[in-house]
A and B are shown apart, each in its own frame.
Chain A
């Protein structure tokens, strides 16, 4: 079926065999790596949002010490390269956990790359999410929150019923940016040896010497992820904004 294409482009046939899903092709490995990347990115993004909500609330309504400590957290994380944070948190995190386990009389454990990756990237994402969500919450008209308080809602009810839904459309562009950063930051875990898409690609490319084939294929996979999630976020944004008067779709 593809014979005429193969004749037109001699290198294509080898590339297709290299990328096929079953061995000797490496396509299966690449896809498995891609799934790992997506899982880590999702986990880190969710963890980051949770930290971000806490951080934003702390920055806006916490005491002076909380606010200063949060400022240190966001400043440090945003100024130090992710790679170094990953190494530091990875080593320090496993060390601390094992020391704690030992103190309580348990045996030390080996932390899986997946959990460590999610934890570390989540802490990095949390710093950026804190700033995004803080800006969004500040943009909610104060009168709405005061009105909710005047109705007798508890602070939690106010947040759930008024602040959160009102700030979400404002936060979505920033959050979608963060999600894109999360998908791309998973590539950094290749350096600590976690077999996500980039490391799988490098191994495949290294053992077959077909660098262009594999790196371009992985690039296409990453691009697919970003383009699809861009569409998805665009759709969510229009959905959440439809009640807003005069909002740009």
Chain B
């Protein structure tokens, strides 16, 4: 704390506080109570879209990375192409392709229209979740490829020599070490995924960003909602960073 509070820092903090006070006094914040409920709902939707897409995307990324690192050509090549295509095209385009493309394709099949899934497929969020998960899978597949390759081969061989089955080697030695090695990169990628979530507002998913746009359209207040939104995203990004730092502290020591 002593190192942080140097004289010039105190001045800078005072200037930042003064700026905050100035913003609080001169700018318009009277819209907040009216939109607070909607904002919280949007925040909740952003968070679970983020969490679910990371879970699904990561579940896809592990086989994608494994296929590229150690698989035979017949799985390695398609996995590599999947990652290249996802990483080579803008996420916004992928979201629109999935939403408008699949969304216009599905209603043409009566079997889909009459299925149990149809009430969900008529909403926008399944398409958003699919697009976000695939994007995360594509980027993390590449990360996991490097992580799987970086685990020393001798460890895997000695585990096999001890009589562990292939699955046990993967579960107890290969995957945990690859995960620990990938953790710092995954933290950064998760923040990138958070920054990608407002794109789903363009396909009518009401998350926190689209609430702010709505405030802008309703009240013609431009800066205040955007500034508040920036603060919210910074807070979430900070929490993600803290979480990953804790994970790293717990799991990276003891890497061979």
In the bound complex, what is the Cα–Cα distance between A212 and B202 (angstroms)?
A: 18
Which interface class (under 10, 10 to 19, 20 to 34, 35 or more) fits B?
A: 35 or more
- Asked whether B195 lies within 8 Å of A81 as measured between CB atoms, the reply is yes
| B6: A residues at CB distance < 8 A | 64
At the interface, yes or no: B97 with Cβ under 8 Å from chain A? yes
A78 at interface by CB-CB < 8 Å: yes
Residue interface bits A107-149, CB-to-B below 8 A is 1, else 0: 0000000000000000000000000000000000000000000
A83 to B56, CA, bound (A): 24
Judge whether A88 is part of the interface by a CB distance below 8 angstroms.
Answer: yes
**Known A88-B230, A190-B92, A205-B100; further 6 A-B contacts with Cβ < 8 A:** A80-B230, A81-B197, A180-B87, A187-B93, A216-B97, A223-B85
Residues of chain A contacted by B222 (CB below 8 angstroms): 91
Question: Least Cβ distance of A205 to chain B in Å?
Answer: 6
1/0 per position for B163-205, CB-CB distance to A under 8 A?
A: 0000000000000000000000000000100111111001000
Name A184's closest neighbour in chain B (CB-CB): B90
CB-CB < 8 A to B101: which residues of A?
211-212, 215
Would you call B105 and A80 a contact (CB within 8 A)? no
List chain A residues, Cβ under 8 A from B104.
209, 211
Q: List 11 A-B contacts (CB under 8 A).
A: A64-B9, A76-B230, A80-B233, A81-B194, A81-B196, A83-B199, A83-B209, A84-B229, A88-B227, A201-B96, A202-B96
Within 8 A of A (CB), among B6-48: 6, 8-9, 12
Count of A residues near B, CB < 8 Å?
Answer: 41
| Assembly CA distance A85 to B230 (angstroms) | 8
Residues of chain B contacted by A84 (CB below 8 angstroms): 198, 209, 226, 229-230, 233
Which B residues touch A87, using CB under 8 A? 226
A26 contacts across to B, CB distance below 8 A: none
B8→A215 contact, CB < 8 A:
no
> B87 — which chain A residues lie within 8 A by C-beta?
180, 226
Number of A-B contacts (CB under 8 A): 111
The residue that A78 contacts in the complex, of B93, B191, B196, B226, with Cβ under 8 A, is: B191
- The A-contacting residues of B in range 82-136, CB under 8 angstroms, are 84-85, 87-94, 96-97, 100-101, 104-105
Contact, CB under 8 Å: A191 / B202 = yes
How does the 8 Å CB contact mask read for A82-112 relative to B, with 1 for contact and 0 for none? 1111011001100000000000000000000
**B194 vs chain A, min Cβ distance (A):** 8
Central interface residue in B12, B89, B197, B226, by most chain A CB within 10 Å? B89
Contact status B223-A81, CB under 8 Å: no
B238 at the interface (CB under 8 A from A): yes
Q: Is B237 an interface residue when CB atoms closer than 8 A count as contact? A: yes
